[in-house]
Amino acid sequence: MTPNFLIIALAAIVPSITRFIWYHPKVMGNAWQKATGLSNEAIKNANMPLVFGVSLLLSFLLSVQVNFLVIHQAHIYSVVMDEPAFKDPNSSLSIMLKEFTELYGENFRTFKHGFFHGILAGIFFVVPLLATNALFERKGFKYIAINAGYWIITIAIMGGIICQFA
């Protein structure tokens, strides 16, 4: 089962869209700026093409990983890929994989399912990572909640898109 890189690339744009909305001054932008301690001048003096370019690259890497979080069928291939028969299209293993894909290839392939796994990834991966960094950076709960909320929603949408369309 080959990942659909067109859908993965499309999902990689989601963080930019949700970031534009979430961190808008009328949504969470002013609260985020206050929680980070960044001044208007510091924000304006940032190299925004670099920031957006690197964030897009990182979003693509995230999207690749979200693909494997939400599409369960990919895991069967990781279990048998070192088997010599894996590369032989006429082997019993390859035939079994083809039959498995025909029978179960569309199971749990909905937006809702991917969205759910995105929420789980946000809660159980992103929140602990952000919160740990925030504790050492001496940032408060509001900082954690704003950023975690953004990532939970973003990864949920990414997961939904990938699971439904990839």
Q: Going residue by residue through the chain (166 aa), what tens digit of pLDDT does each one get?
A: 678 999 999 999 999 999 999 999 999 999 999 999 999 999 989 999 999 999 999 999 999 999 999 999 988 988 999 999 999 999 999 999 999 999 999 999 999 999 999 999 999 999 999 999 999 999 999 999 999 999 999 999 999 999 999 8
Its pTM stands at 0.91
Residue 59 near residue 17, CB atoms below 8 Å: no
Q: At what angle do helices 14-22 and 141-165 cross, to 10 degrees?
A: 140
Residue 115, Cβ neighbours under 10 Å: how many? 21
The residue type of 44 is: K
